[in-house]
Amino acid sequence: MSEYLVTDVTDGIARITLNRPNAINALDDSMMNAMYEALATWSKDDTVTAVEIAGNGERGFCAGADVRTLAGLVADGGPWLHFLETEYALDMMIANYPKPVTSYMRGITMGGGLGLGGHADRRIVYSDTVMAMPETKIGFFPDVGIMYQLSRAGAVGRHIAMTSATFTGGDALLLNLADESADGPLPAPLFDGSNTWIEECYASDDPVEIVKALESHPDENARQAGRDLRARSPFAVFVTLRALIRAQKLQLSEVLDQDLRLAEGVLPMGDFVEGVRALLIDKDNDPHWRYATLEEVPVEEVDKVFSYRSSWQR
């Protein structure tokens, strides 16, 4: 088991509580393995009728995977792919679990935390829920299967995935990333009628055309999104949009397979280690990306990342 995980069973309800509040319950390898083992045991236990997943601490449910550790593994040539295999297997187990799973996504719920909670049967959000798939900020793409939902959410899904934009529990309900609110009606600002610029600017399948549409739009929110997009890893943005387009035709298991195969190609390229350094380690917010601008990204390099043969194509 993990020191960062608490499990118990009461009256047939099995509970997993993430217990690393100082790191907003960021998932390390021991936590994910312990969760997987607990779920595997409960699946065969007839006295367990349902599972609940929550997080300790005031700040949030789960800030995501421990990307500092993951970046260290990538930089040192450690077993980083195994880290992701464990994470994605856990997400798939929750999605396919034979007993009902409820997730309580209070506060910060991002990245791997959204993968953990967003594939449950009953996903509860709150007035303080703050969600994001912030991977393009650190030279990666939204993974943990969440492109399954984002790819089916049209322009709003593209905006969230490409810019790492935060969104509310109310937005999550409309994105099919949540099922109910514990706090009554919640605002969904990304779906507000005043945000017509999202539909207008994300129509293209070319990231360069998208960023130019944002930068030239009269709405300041659109222009800010353009600045945000310019600050992200250009290569990661290209990979993200293409992966989103592909994910529209994939099942969840196939999206997770795509996540793993793309990670295998993208993570060793350097932007991920550099992005984690700039955002989370040195905190200078000055990443030096492999390609400085979206215009400089060679399409043939993106093609190479997508040239893998996935397990579902074999």
Q: What is the mean pLDDT of residues 161-173?
A: 98
pLDDT at 310 over 70: no
pLDDT at 243 over 50: yes
Cα–Cα dist 93/120, whole Å: 10
Cα–Cα dist 178/150, whole Å: 12
Q: What is the mean pLDDT of residues 128-136?
A: 98
- Supply the CATH classification number for the domain 5-307: 3.90.226.10
Cα–Cα dist 87/73, whole Å: 15
Q: What is the mean pLDDT of residues 157-177?
A: 98
Dump pLDDT digits (tens) for 248-307.
Answer: 999 999 999 999 999 999 999 999 999 999 999 999 999 999 999 999 999 999 999 999
Cα–Cα dist 33/27, whole Å: 10
Dump pLDDT digits (tens) for 55-112.
Answer: 999 999 999 999 999 999 999 999 999 999 999 999 999 999 999 999 999 999 999 9
Work out the pLDDT band at 1, boundaries 50, 70, 90: confident
Cα–Cα dist 142/266, whole Å: 12
Q: Which has the closest alpha carbon to 52: 42, 60, 66, 44?
A: 42
Q: Which has the closest alpha carbon to 32: 90, 93, 105, 115?
A: 90
Give the rounded distance of the alpha carbon of 199 from its chain centre.
22
pLDDT at residue 313, as a whole number: 43
Phi, psi of 25, deg, nearest 5: 60, 30
- The residue to which tokens 């449950």 are assigned: 120
The three-point CA angle 261-266-267 to 5° equals 105
Secondary structure of 89-138 in HEC code, one letter for each residue? HHHHHHHCCCCCEEEEECEEEECHHHHHHCCCCEEEECCCCEEECCHHHH
pLDDT at residue 194, as a whole number: 87
Domain definitions of the chain by residue range: 5-307
Q: Give the DSSP H or E segment for 238.
A: helix 234-247
DSSP letters, 2-71, are -TTEEEEEETTEEEEEE--GGGTT-B-HHHHHHHHHHHHHHHT-TT--EEEEEE-SSSEEE--B-HHHHH
